[in-house]
Amino acid sequence: MTQKFEFEVSAEYYQFCIQDESSENLPEWTDEEVERLLAVKAGIIGVGTISMGLVRVVVEIGECEPTNDIDGWDQVNECNLQVQSGRLVIAGITDTDAFLFGGRRIDLEPGAYRIRLYYGDVSSPIDDRFPTDHYRIVVWKAAPGPLRILKRRRTVSTSSGPNWLTDVSRMIN
């Protein structure tokens, strides 16, 4: 049986995080991670966005790996996350509501998980006033495996220049 959660998450600095509640890490973005819109560190995953504002995020907790349902998505990545605390948090990097007031938490059995990230509308022109990018996160309990890029987006130009996420990352790291 699949559990489904829908959130609006603040994509501050063109990113939001999926993390174990006990993690104190923040994502640190390399050029390679910026290109794939994914930064992985112990206990935390940084998800790169193309807009800075509220983005729609759907989280599905399943019992097994999803079928290869990548059609209709601009990019699809897959990686590991160790959830030691038994709680998964979906939040912007300075999202005090999620951390202080209990918002966007999902209870999980502690252990190793695979995370498949689907990126929608990330190949379109960017307008931060009206973000259209959206994200689907599928989580299932599984042994760790390699980071995989199942589908790569076509690159879009932005009003901020070609290295917008790299520049922002350098400011906050």
Cα–Cα distance for residue pair 121/73, rounded to 1 Å: 7
* Cβ partners under 8 Å of residue 161, min gap 6: 167
Q: What are the tens digits of pLDDT across the range 104-149? A: 889 999 999 999 999 998 876 666 667 788 999 999 999 999 999 9
Q: Are 103 and 33 in contact (CB under 8 A)?
A: no
- pTM score of the predicted model: 0.85
Q: What domains, with CATH codes, occur in the chain?
A: 3-172 (2.60.34.30)
